[in-house]
Structure 1
């Protein structure tokens, strides 16, 4: 599904526009507020944070698709080799840039400590109270929690009925969490973002098995809850934009995301077969990982020498080049090596749990 890669790229560019153009909390990056320097760019970028919501919906669709007929070991292997190689390099590269930077306009202006960097490498630093080396990493912890939850379905075997049941239970708990005032429950179910993951899974069921009233009803419910929860998320992001944002614009963008994803699931974009889209989609993840803090540093230096929009073009080209280097020389070589090692590890675990093998080894 080539168009999913295009949507990934659009979502990544939207988040990039939010950090580079929409956020006015760090005026030192552009040596002025982006609203004054680039009014049109800022007006668009001010809603780029909604790219994260699109990412989560795509994730629900793709994870459900990729787990069909696979074991827990297959699921874990696919996620590890997809997420960690580029992430490890991005953490180390970003930490190095921040450590030696004279600017450090990021979320945490202090120089990264060794323990902070090492803990970030686990991708599980947030529950340990360790701040992100790059603020964009918060979404990865949300993704990991989704993987753990969906791993329960994979354990029992992914079927139409089990995915539906999982979506229903997760949605019900997401309704209870805000009222229960139980932080642990809300931390697990992620009631702010769960509707996008659930919506993505429902859309995959439509894609695989066809549409019906039940699936459309569940998708509609996800959309209704998403437009409700977007108000709170928007309020948080107003602090970064340093201005009031429009709920109508945010709700419209969310609606467009649901409509476009539904059209994609139902095959409206199957005619797209451009190979460059898949290649561009492969750069989405490393681009997302390196664009904020490193991008800020480059913008801070370059914007003293170029006008705003040429600076934007040059920095985007540079970040795409860095993303390509990470994909070409980190992800592509390491993924098959890690896959072989993990497949071998899970095979050894299965052999160790086989009673016949244990008896044979003891006799030998």
Structure 2
């Protein structure tokens, strides 16, 4: 198959597909490698009883040690993969804004992200309950309202605990969608000063969070949410800057200056908010930016790999199901058989099956359905009329 085939058949830029597949592969890989080294440390996080005596296979220790000696000391697959995902979102969301009315944008974003997130969250919750029931524990570790808050991606707003911690990245995605929606009313996504001011605002919030003590302690929770968003929204702004370069809105020099300024502010934001691990996270944000720029400049010269294309297609449900859901399956199997290899094999079998089930029955139908519904709003352009009426 020609490397340009995905572009022609699916209307997707291959370099973005490749970047998405690479990010997903690295995140799944490092999560499971870390898990296999010490799965017993996650029992409370995944709402399961303690794992029986477990010793990681020597092959896993040996492999992890060998890889640690080869890769750069500050390279962390999970931080790099997440940064790459966020840059991709920052690049494609402005494109989505230009495809129709604002109502069109809102509906397509909801259809793209919410049904899959809802399905995966419910599946993960059911698997967690199943694992507990097998041991005779009939007490649910979370309420129905918590499941719904997680599934609707409003957990951080209403203050519910996590069902699966992977949902935090989607919450940041939703916040970015809202920001882009607001910016679209004055084409702010195309203005360099707007992008820089937003990044600067998140930096100020991170500083405020650091020094907010005494009578202002009550505000720390809200500042923490905003600052946490800021540390990972800035890579999205970098993606937005690169979109403007790719679309011909900004020159090379302008884009380079904005990206450098964003990277500097991201570094400072991380230092104030994250602290000790800020340098590691920043290095991987920087590395992800460089890799994305190279892929962008290569364009259709990026070699086509069928595996990466298919992985990118299912990356969304796979990302949501590979963690807590897969870990619980591992716990269940290992408690019965005490065999790491079998537990790993069955876990990946279940994850793969559930990923393709959600992809085919939820993700694939919901995206075009959202587009069809959105088209019906294009003529009405509700938000456009609202803007003209208030002018």
Is residue 175 from structure 1 mapped to residue 203 from structure 2 by the alignment? yes
Is residue 39 from structure 1 mapped to residue 61 from structure 2 by the alignment? yes
Is residue 220 from structure 1 mapped to residue 249 from structure 2 by the alignment? no
Check conservation: 2:234, 2:262, Cα contact below 8 A.
yes
Is residue 285 from structure 1 mapped to residue 316 from structure 2 by the alignment? yes
Is residue 195 from structure 1 mapped to residue 217 from structure 2 by the alignment? no
Q: Report the counterpart of residue 241 of structure 1 in structure 2.
A: none
Is residue 319 from structure 1 mapped to residue 340 from structure 2 by the alignment? no
RMSD: 3.6
Check conservation: 1:206, 1:266, Cα contact below 8 A.
no
Q: Which runs of 5+ in 1 are unaligned?
A: 237-245, 355-364
Check conservation: 2:131, 2:332, Cα contact below 8 A.
no
Q: Report the counterpart of residue 26 of structure 1 in structure 2.
A: 42
Check conservation: 1:9, 1:284, Cα contact below 8 A.
yes
Equivalent residue of 2:95, what SS?
helix
Alignment of 1:1-364 (within 5 A): 1-22=13-34, 24=38, 25-26=41-42, 32=54, 38-39=60-61, 42=64, 47-50=76-79, 51-68=81-98, 70-102=100-132, 111-157=141-187, 160=190, 162=191, 164-181=192-209, 183=220, 184=222, 187-188=225-226, 190-209=229-248, 211-228=251-268, 233=274, 235=276, 247=279, 251-268=282-299, 270-274=301-305, 276-303=307-334, 305=337, 308=340, 312=344, 315-344=347-376, 350=382
Distance 2:297 2:174 in 1: 28
Equivalent residue of 1:134, what SS?
coil
Q: Residue 299 and residue 42 in structure 1: after superposition, are their counterparts in 2 closer, same or farther (change >3 A)?
A: farther
Q: Which runs of 5+ in 2 are unaligned?
A: 1-12, 44-49, 69-74, 210-218, 387-391
Equivalent residue of 2:294, what SS?
helix
Distance 1:30 1:284 in 2: 32
Equivalent residue of 1:272, what SS?
coil
Query: C-alpha displacement at 1:26, in angstroms?
Result: 2.3
Distance 2:383 2:274 in 1: 48
Equivalent residue of 2:365, what SS?
helix
Q: Residue 177 and residue 159 in structure 1: after superposition, are their counterparts in 2 closer, same or farther (change >3 A)?
A: closer
| CA offsets 1:229-278 (integer angstroms, 9 cap, x no match) | 55664857xxxxxxxxx956x55433321111111222355443455543
Equivalent residue of 1:38, what SS?
helix
Check conservation: 1:69, 1:157, Cα contact below 8 A.
no
Distance 2:345 2:286 in 1: 29
Q: Residue 324 and residue 212 in structure 1: after superposition, are their counterparts in 2 closer, same or farther (change >3 A)?
A: same
Query: C-alpha displacement at 1:220, in angstroms?
Result: 1.8
The alignment's TM-score, normalised by the length of structure 1, stands at 0.78
Q: Residue 310 and residue 256 in structure 1: after superposition, are their counterparts in 2 closer, same or farther (change >3 A)?
A: farther
Equivalent residue of 1:135, what SS?
coil
Check conservation: 1:263, 1:269, Cα contact below 8 A.
no
Check conservation: 2:199, 2:234, Cα contact below 8 A.
yes
